[in-house]
Structure 1
């Protein structure tokens, strides 16, 4: 057998990122599994836990074989399974489904930054697992009536091409022109953004109720207001076009104010969600051709970035932000 090539800086970064995300997910799954009152949901999360735990072990061994220190990530100190339920009515699977959306994007990106076959294989296998559990969560929520599909549309009967710049509509062309109806790509992006932000709103509402540090509690409260404003703005876009706004009765935060997770873990979780939201806003900007939509998405991305930056400062202040592995300080070595 040929010797493995030396691990690259980008592969080291990819393993670090994956370790952080997966150890966070394990801690949250431990709590949700403990509190699950639906057997099917519990089985989905238990099986997923076993899959993720296996790959945390593989990543740990890979780093050890390279002589690298093992990151701290998130440990048993970051979860308390004995506290009352913080969420009810299917939120556990709603949350896992959103996490799997994030993981799919991360694994796809990480594969493009990896070269060594064993590391690429880890990411490919994690991608397959993620896609499988995303589908299991989706079908579970549909079965329980807790997930609203995007709106139906009459089937197209002919192929059309854009005839002039009026297709872009909005203020950039003519402030008095009537906007065209949304196309199906734009509807898909807006629906996804509303759905994701509703789940994020439910998550951060619970976090705001139970955070220990006053500054963290206020930060989460500000996050609920940001998520509400995004949902409101995008919902109005749907309503102006005669499209039903997706709503679900599931995923409510309970009245509990006792934290199942450390402030450190909750802050990282929201940081991860902010990164996902900024990526989604960028996609919305790139693939929406009606001028008013990219303008909205750009404002959302700016607001989310500023919110995430504020959260990073809080994490640094409290010593909660673990540094990724660093490159050599060449200038210092020369001196």
Structure 2
């Protein structure tokens, strides 16, 4: 049964997701190899080693699939994209918070990918990616709680009786805005503040170490955008007397020696931008508060424009590998 499925050509979705997974995992191996060189905490070191191991397994499996299908393996990110001898750029606290965000993104991505996979062997691969990432996420969360580093979402009152919404203004408040947030809205606000905080820390670090003015300016602009978004989301929490997660920009050292190529840093930032757009989309679907929906929609557009400018920098420097494309019938007609 399995071999019959494996004779079927990969669908466009299967090919594209394998290709983009290869790119992301090759980047992760570079990033974590550098982190591993200067991590001090043994628990965090163990989680990092586990993370590298998973990424290497994914790369090997995709290489095998591509060899069998006679597909060109992407270059991705290789040894020349990382300098493991570079001075320490981040603290151990940043490392574990970064790992939590990355595994979080992995769970979301693999869950979405699986809905578009038909071939049995590819389904098996992405299912394994999902379960192993969930396991790693749980291990990371345990260590964060154990060290008192996890910012748990705030509590809201437990419902004491069954109630029904009395007015449509719960959804469409018009000028009389509903001040109280639902539990899901609180959770989305906190989550998106934390992802933007990872973004500001990376922007701070990358702008310090890049030797390219365009990349530096791009990172600093990204930091400005992320800080603005944190402020918008933080105001909603403050207005409900709820705590705002603490920034961790101080977890970046003063090193100016780059551990990563500009190509890797720009690609990494791009991945985060598109993940951010997805996160804002999820927040919009979870919100019933019109001003919140308007803000998430408006800020999504801002990220999209910023991400597009980043793609232009990647293209201008020939840093952007072309993903698998469908046949252009128009181009064929010209020949």
Check whether TM > 0.5. yes
- CA deviations on 1:210-261 (whole Å, 9 max, x unpaired) are 1121100000000110110011111111111111112265861100011111
How many residues end up aligned between the 2 structures? 331
Q: Conserved in 2, the CA contact under 8 Å of 1:14 and 1:113?
A: no
**Pairwise CA distance, 1:89:** 4.0
Could you tell me which residue of structure 1 aligns to residue 202 of structure 2? 203
Structural mapping, 1:323-334, within 5 Å: 323-334=322-333
Bigger share in helix: 2
1:272 equivalenced with 2:275 (yes/no):
no
Q: Say which of 7, 19, 22 aligns to 1:19.
A: 22
RMSD: 1.5
Separation (CA, whole Å) in 2 of partners of 1:249 and 1:77:
29
Change (3 A) 1:79 1:161: same
Could you tell me which residue of structure 2 aligns to residue 55 of structure 1? 58
Using structure 2 for the length normalisation, give the TM-score.
Answer: 0.95
Could you tell me which residue of structure 2 aligns to residue 142 of structure 1? 145
Could you tell me which residue of structure 2 aligns to residue 225 of structure 1? 224
**Pairwise CA distance, 1:179:** 2.7
1:42 equivalenced with 2:45 (yes/no):
yes
Could you tell me which residue of structure 1 aligns to residue 97 of structure 2? 94
Q: Say which of 83, 88, 98 aligns to 1:85.
A: 88
Q: Which runs of 5+ in 2 are unaligned?
A: none
Separation (CA, whole Å) in 1 of partners of 2:221 and 2:236:
23
Separation (CA, whole Å) in 1 of partners of 2:92 and 2:35:
12
Using structure 1 for the length normalisation, give the TM-score.
Answer: 0.95
Q: Conserved in 1, the CA contact under 8 Å of 2:41 and 2:92?
A: no
Look up the SS of the partner of 1:322 in the other structure. coil
Separation (CA, whole Å) in 1 of partners of 2:244 and 2:226:
15
Could you tell me which residue of structure 1 aligns to residue 115 of structure 2? 112
**Pairwise CA distance, 1:327:** 2.3
Q: Conserved in 2, the CA contact under 8 Å of 1:194 and 1:246?
A: yes
**Pairwise CA distance, 1:331:** 3.4
Q: Conserved in 1, the CA contact under 8 Å of 2:114 and 2:126?
A: yes
Q: Which runs of 5+ in 1 are unaligned?
A: none
